[in-house]
Amino acid sequence: MKAAPFLLALLFCLPSALPAQEPKLTAEEEKLQKLSGIITWAKAKQAYDEGLKLFQQAKGDEAVAKFTEALTLIDKYTDARFARGRTYYEMHKLEPALADFTRVIADQPASSNAHHQRGLTLWKLNKNDEALKEFDTAIQKDPRVYAYHESRGVLLAFTKRKEKALADYDMMVALDPLTPSNLERRATLLRELGRNEEADEDERQGGRLRDAGF
């Protein structure tokens, strides 16, 4: 028992193992490594481009396969992941779409478009409050995108929050003042709020725009 302190002291005096160091690459090896990266990127980009063409041809399953191929090559290929999520969304495969949009946001939190698409997916999943939060975030990041205000405004109106919805309808008119349907949609909402004079004026202005060929 008396030898225990000595053994402990000896143990602590032993040299600790140094962390393994990777051997430094030669100039030729670095060149080959860069070349390999370029080839991988080129293959991923080709798969992504082919996926886009298939998406445009409404070949959803084949498009998903190509986007997945691109992601297998480069896991953080955000454009490919977003495109796959959008394809899943159009195919009404909402859970995998939501997973892709969530990952895109994790990789690129500044992407207002990813927040908007995630919001649309949540809306289709009947998660309206979560969807509204995503629309809020998209608008905070890019407040002059018409589609973001349209999505939030329609959902607010659908969930009986019409006064809040009106602010988005106002913004839709401000961003696209020459489209008669924007005025007509706002007029409908104003009538539901009992603001008939303002609704009448929107309808008159919308009619004048239609008469002018807009």
Ordered by start, the domain boundaries in the chain are: 39-108
- Tens digits of per-residue pLDDT, 27-45? 665 665 676 678 899 999 9
Residues 83, 51 contacting (CB under 8 angstroms): yes
Contacts 24+ apart (CB under 8 A), 146-150: 146/172, 146/175, 146/176, 147/116, 148/112, 148/116, 149/175
The model's pTM: 0.82
Domain 39-108: CATH class, spelled out: mainly alpha
pLDDT at 146 over 80: yes
- Tens digits of per-residue pLDDT, 100-113? 999 999 999 999 99
Question: What rounded mean pLDDT belongs to the chain?
Answer: 90
